Chain A
Amino acid sequence: MDNHFEAGLDELRHKLLTMASHSETAVNRAVQALVQRDSALAQRVKDEDRVIDHFEVEIDDLVIQLLTKAPLATNLRLVTVAMKISQDLERIGDEASKIAKRARDLSMEPPIKLNLDLPHIAGLALDMLKTALDAFVNKDPVAARAVIPRDKEVDALNKQIHATLARHMVENPDTIGRCLHWMVASKSIERIADHATNVAEDVVYLCEAQDIRHTGVKSGIVA
C-alpha cells in the first residue's frame, strides 16, 4: 500500500481518538461543574468546546484529502465512518457545553432539594461512548453491537428524572426555573448516549459493511 496513504489513515485514527478524549473530558467536567456548582469549571468547558469544533474541521479536511486517493473496501468505510464519528463527537461536545451553561446558571441560584444522581446517568452514557470507541480501535463489531441496547436504560433514567422534576415543579412552583435547567442537562446526557449509539452503529458498518441504522433492531443483535 502507498505508505503516504497508510500514514494518512493512521493520522485519521489518531485525530479521532484525540477528539474523543476531549469530548469525554468535556462531559465529565460539565457534570462535575453541575454537581459541584462550579461556575469557573463550567466556563472552562464552554471555552474549550472550540477545540473539539476545530478537530471536526481538521478531520473533515483529512477525509477529503484521503478520498482523493480513491480508497476502496475497508479503507473507504474507515474514511467515511471517521467523518460521521467526528460529527457525533462534536455534538457530544455541544451537549457538554449545554450542560456547562446550565451548571453556570444553577450555580448562581440556591440548590434545589432533590437527589437526581446525574453523575450516574452521565457515567452510563460515557461508558457507552468509551465501549464504542474501544470497539472502533479493536475492530470489534460484537462489542459495538452490545452498546446499542444500553441506550434504553439511559432513556428510562432520563424519563424518571424528568418525571421527578415535573412533580417537584408542581409541588414547588418557585423552583420551576431551576428544575428546567436540570431537565435540559438530563436531556443532554440522554442525547450523548444517542450519539454513542450512533458511533457503535458506525463501527458495525466499518467492520461488517452492514448498515444497522434505522432497522428497528434496537438490540443491535444480528437477526
Chain B
Amino acid sequence: MATANTSDSAALTVRDLSIFFGGNHVLKNVSLDIAARSVTAIIGPSGCGKSTFLRALNRMHELVPEARMTGGIRLFGDDIYARGIEPVVVRRRVGMVFQKSNPFPTMSISENVTVGLRLNGARDKKFLVQRTEQSLRMAALWNEVKDRLHAPAISLSGGQQQRLCIARALAVQPEVLLMDEPASALDPLATSKIEDLVRELKKNYTIVIVTHNMQQAARISDFTAFFYLGEMVEFGPTAKIFTNPAQKRTEDYVTGRFG
C-alpha cells in the first residue's frame, strides 16, 4: 500500500481510510497527505474508488445507503469525522464541483452564487452583492455575466454553468475544493478555461481533482495519486508519476496497457 509522509503543510491528512458500501469494500486502507495550495489529481480506471475517495473528503459518501468508513481524515488538523461534527459544516469547508454542472434551474445567476450563504443565514444585501462579484471574478465568469446577473442560470453555456458552480462553491469560502471530472462534459475551449481557472485558484485554495484525462492531470496538477481496485497504488509529484512511475501497475496504466 502506498503512503505519503506527513507534512506540516498538509491541508488534508488521510490515514488508513477504508470505505464499505454494505459488504462491498470499495476503498482499502488509503493514507496520504494532500498539500495545501496545490492541485492533487486522482487517476485510475473506472471503478477503482477515485470518486468514493473524493467524496469521503467531505463526507458526501455518507449519502449512499449502508456506507461505512474506518480510518480518519483531518482537515488542517481537525478530524472531520469526529463525533458531533455535522457533515454540512464539513461541506462548507470542503466544497465540491461535479462532473455535470448542476446550477439550480429555478434560480438566477446571482441567486445560484449566494444560495449557500443565504442558507447559512446571510441576509445583508450589500454583503451578498459583494460576495457575488468576488466569487464570479474568482471563477473567471464575472465579465461574461455582470450585465445579466438576474438571468436564469440555465441560460448559460455548459462551460459557463460549470464556472458558475465553481463560483457557488467559492462563495462560502471553503478551504478545499473537490472536483469530480469537472471538464469531462465540456468542449476543448471550455475545458481549457476550467484548467486555467484551476491553476489560478490553487494560489489560494487546495484542490483535489478526479480525472480520467491523464494529459489534463499532467497539465494542471502538482501531485497525482493512482488508484486501482480500491487501493492507492502510487502517490507522488505529477512529473514523476508520468515520466518515471515507481510501480509497474502505474506504468502500465499511464502507458495505456490497461484501463
A:98-139 near B, CB below 8 Å: none
26 A-B pairs whose Cβ atoms sit less than 8 Å apart in the complex: A1-B255, A1-B257, A2-B256, A70-B214, A70-B215, A70-B218, A71-B255, A72-B214, A72-B218, A72-B254, A72-B255, A73-B244, A73-B245, A73-B250, A73-B251, A73-B254, A73-B255, A74-B251, A74-B255, A75-B255, A76-B242, A76-B243, A77-B243, A77-B244, A209-B243, A209-B244
A83 → chain B closest CB, angstroms:
16
Binding site for B on A (CB under 8 A): 1-2, 5, 70-77, 209
Query: Which B positions have Cβ atoms within 8 angstroms of A?
Result: 214-215, 218, 242-245, 250-251, 254-257
What residues on A are CB-neighbors of B243 within 8 Å? 72-73, 76-77, 209
The answer to whether B242 touches A72 (Cβ under 8 A) is yes
> A71 contacts which chain B residues (CB < 8 A)?
255
A5: chain B residues within 8 A (beta carbon): 256
Nearest residue (CB) in A for B214 is: A72
What CA separation (Å) do A101 and B240 show in the bound complex? 47
Rounded to whole Å, the gap between the CB of A3 and the closest CB of chain B is: 10
Query: Separation in Å of the A218 CB from the closest CB of chain B?
Result: 24
* Complex-state Cα separation, A72 to B252, whole angstroms: 10
Top 9 A-B residue pairs of the complex, sorted by shortest distance between their CB atoms: A209-B244, A1-B256, A72-B254, A72-B242, A70-B215, A75-B255, A73-B251, A73-B254, A1-B257
Closest A residue to B242 by beta carbon equals A72
Contacts of B244 in A (CB 8 A): 73, 77, 209
Distance in angstroms between the alpha carbons of A31 and B251 in the assembled complex: 44
Give 8 A-B pairs besides A70-B215, A73-B254 with Cβ atoms closer than 8 angstroms.
A1-B255, A2-B256, A70-B218, A72-B242, A72-B243, A76-B242, A77-B243, A77-B244
Q: Which chain B residue shows the least CB distance to A209?
A: B244
The residues of B that contact A73 with a CB separation of less than 8 Å are: 242-245, 250-251, 254-255
Complex CA gap A75/B243 in Å reads 9
Q: Indicate the member of B214, B242, B244, B250 with the most A CB atoms within 10 Å.
A: B244
Contact partners of B214 in chain A: CB under 8 A: 70, 72
Q: Which residues of A contact B218 (CB under 8 A)?
A: 70, 72
Residues from chain B with Cβ under 8 Å of A1 in the complex? 255-257
Within the assembled complex, what's the spacing in Å between the Cα atoms of A27 and B242? 38
